Amino acid sequence: MNLELRQLRYFVTVAEELHFGKAALRLHMTQPPLSQTIQALEELLGAALFERNRRGVALTPAGLALLPEARRMLAQSLELPQLVQRAAAGEVGRLTLAFVSSADYSVLPPFLRAYRAAYPQVQITLQEATSDLQLDDLLHNRIDAGLLIPPLPDKAGLELDYLPVLSEPLVLALPAGLLKKQGKLALASLPKLPLIVFPRAISPALYDAILSVFREAGITPEIGQQAIQMQTIVSLVSAGMGMALVPQSVSNLMRPGVEYRALRDATPLVETGLAWRRDNASPVLRGFLELLRKNTLC
Q: Which domains can be identified in the chain, with CATH numbers? A: 5-88 (1.10.10.10), 96-272 (3.40.190.290)
Q: Give yes or no for a contact between 66 and 45, defined as CB atoms under 8 angstroms apart.
A: yes
pTM of full prediction above 0.85: no
How many CB atoms sit inside 10 A of residue 173's CB? 26
Distance CA 11, CA 25 (A): 14
Output the pLDDT for position 86: 64
Residue 113: what pLDDT?
93
- Check: CB of residue 242 under 8 Å from CB of residue 194: yes
The percentage of residues in the chain with a pLDDT greater than 70, rounded to a whole number, is 96
Tell me if 290 sits within 8 A of 276, measured CB to CB. Answer: no
Q: How much is the pLDDT for 175? A: 93
H or E stretch covering 273: strand 270-277
Q: Alpha-carbon distance 236 to 198, whole Å?
A: 12
CA distance 245 to 208: 11
Q: What is the pLDDT of residues 60-90, one digit of tens each?
A: 999 999 999 999 998 988 877 776 666 666 6
Q: Encode the chain (298 residues) as per-residue pLDDT tens digits.
A: 688 999 999 999 999 999 999 999 999 999 999 999 999 999 999 999 999 887 779 999 999 999 999 999 989 888 777 766 666 666 778 999 999 999 999 999 999 999 999 999 899 999 999 999 999 999 999 999 999 999 998 888 899 999 999 999 999 999 998 887 778 889 888 888 999 998 998 888 889 999 999 999 999 999 999 998 899 999 999 999 999 999 999 999 888 999 999 999 888 999 999 999 999 999 999 999 999 988 775 5
Angstrom CA distances, 102 to 15, 68, 230, 279, stand at 62, 52, 6, 27
Give the per-residue pLDDT at 182: 78
Q: Give yes or no for a contact between 76 and 5, defined as CB atoms under 8 angstroms apart.
A: no
pLDDT at position 45: 93
How far apart, in whole angstroms, are the C-alpha atoms of residue 59 and residue 68? 12
Rounded to whole angstroms, the Cα distance separating 199 from 130 reads: 11
Closest residue by Cα to residue 246 from 64, 183, 238, 279:
238
pLDDT tens-digit map of 159-184? 999 999 999 999 999 999 888 777 88
Cα of first residue to Cα of last residue in the chain, in angstroms, is: 57
- Among residues 277, 279, 290, which one has the least CA distance to residue 119? 290
Query: What backbone torsions phi and psi does residue 29 show, to the nearest 5 degrees?
Result: -145, 175
Compute CA distances 281 → 34, 121, 125, 286, 289, whole Å. 45, 19, 18, 7, 12
Per-residue model confidence as pLDDT tens digits over 274-296: 999 999 999 999 999 999 988 77
CA gap 147, 162 in Å, rounded: 10
Structure confidence at residue 275 (pLDDT): 97
